[in-house]
Structure 1
């Protein structure tokens, strides 16, 4: 991806830009290696939740946020569901990038590649606007430019774009009272992988695993890991 230097940048800015591009290329190379390394992990979470019926997914932007009391009840409901199915959350930072961090953890077994994940999703939004424009009740260019900014909350439109970009079925274990489980599938191809997230409704995303199927770097140290 090209980077644009503004305000009459001189030679020193060019060097800085080159170094930044090298760092980004290194990150992408490491991420690709990690992705290949974990591509053959078994679908432990899918097996654990195979008896759940999923609800249809409708892409939408963020327009509603629960009150504190409703959010607290939702969080307790999500914890109960995680415990009931023997699942563990890898908690990611709640800095506005949580959806992209959680997707990064599922793709690369690290949340640290969230900037690359966001860039890939925004590129998908820009190049295939006919898939998503109808779900966005604002000027579409304004929408995808906003989504390109670090800290901007991801929504159900970006989840659909992620499913399409990464050829993945994205599975959400949610805190919604009437909707425990949502599947988001690619629109024009069969999914090649599954990505599993917990969704504290309209508040936060985390990455989820069955404990036995977790990579070693994610295994909790506490004896009693469910909470």
Structure 2
């Protein structure tokens, strides 16, 4: 009995410590925003240069099945050719299940390491605006929300919509899809104040996009998703 109490106490302390660290992280990000006066999102030069692109309507959805190796290879080649055509370069995100949130954090703050903060903001958006997103979730919404709170859980097109809504951002997605290579995700009933540019290797990986020559140099600690 006493052992169980010690275990429960340790678990509670760990949970409280984690919660405290999350709060500290949020305060750190808030300080960054206060210093800069706004999110450090990419400027609009890229958007102006690619304003001729026709976007496809965005429908929020969960992730589909991961393609087999042959299809994934073809998709990756298609995406690479598309990026070359648009004179874009990917800043590679770590393939740890957080790539979408890392890419969003890089576009917002020029730092992928703030992905935990971005995930928390997105899940808060999902939690407090259930009516906006529940219809796109083919499972119990509470289970979906609990799942998305976990670090390493892959983001989907529902979390992208929630991110657009939370950060008042237009998310510009260059994809490996055959027929809809460019998708714009707009905030719901809002005017966007920033643009975020991501690449999407269909059902496999997200990266942060820059014009050629503008990609920041960073030292990475983990393995990339690359062939």
**Smaller-chain TM-score bracket:** 0.7 to 0.9
**For 1:36, what is the secondary structure of its paired residue?**
coil
Taking the aligned partners of 2:164 and 2:12, their CA distance within structure 1 comes to 40
* Contact 1:103/1:195 (<8 A) preserved: yes
| 1:47 and 2:32 correspond | no
User: C-alpha deviations, 1:26-84, integer Å up to 9, x for none?
Assistant: 53235424673735x53122122211100000000013221110010110111111111
Q: Which residue of 1 aligns with 2:190?
A: 189
Taking the aligned partners of 1:136 and 1:207, their CA distance within structure 2 comes to 26
Q: Which residue of 1 aligns with 2:40?
A: 38
Q: Which residue of 1 aligns with 2:127?
A: 126
Q: Which residue of 1 aligns with 2:89?
A: 88
Distance 1:7 1:199, change over 3 A: same
* Contact 1:34/1:109 (<8 A) preserved: no
Consecutive unaligned residues in structure 2, runs of 5 or more:
1-6, 219-227
Give the TM-score of the pair, scaled to structure 2. 0.84
Q: Which residue of 2 aligns with 1:160?
A: 161
**For 1:7, what is the secondary structure of its paired residue?**
helix
The number of residues matched between the two structures is 211
* Contact 1:48/1:85 (<8 A) preserved: no
Q: Which residue of 1 aligns with 2:177?
A: 176
Taking the aligned partners of 1:10 and 1:130, their CA distance within structure 2 comes to 33
* Contact 2:103/2:112 (<8 A) preserved: yes
Give the TM-score of the pair, scaled to structure 1. 0.84
Between 16-25 and 182-191, the greater mean CA deviation after superposition: 16-25
Q: Post-superposition, which runs of at least 4 consecutive aligned residues in structure 1 deviate over 4 A?
A: 9-19, 215-218
Taking the aligned partners of 1:10 and 1:49, their CA distance within structure 2 comes to 51
Consecutive unaligned residues in structure 1, runs of 5 or more:
1-5, 219-227
Distance 1:168 1:13, change over 3 A: closer
Q: Which residue of 2 aligns with 1:204?
A: 205
Taking the aligned partners of 1:180 and 1:13, their CA distance within structure 2 comes to 44
> What's the Cα RMSD here?
2.5
* Contact 2:26/2:117 (<8 A) preserved: no
* C-alpha deviation, 1:8, in angstroms: 2.3
Taking the aligned partners of 1:11 and 1:68, their CA distance within structure 2 comes to 43
Q: Which residue of 1 aligns with 2:144?
A: 143
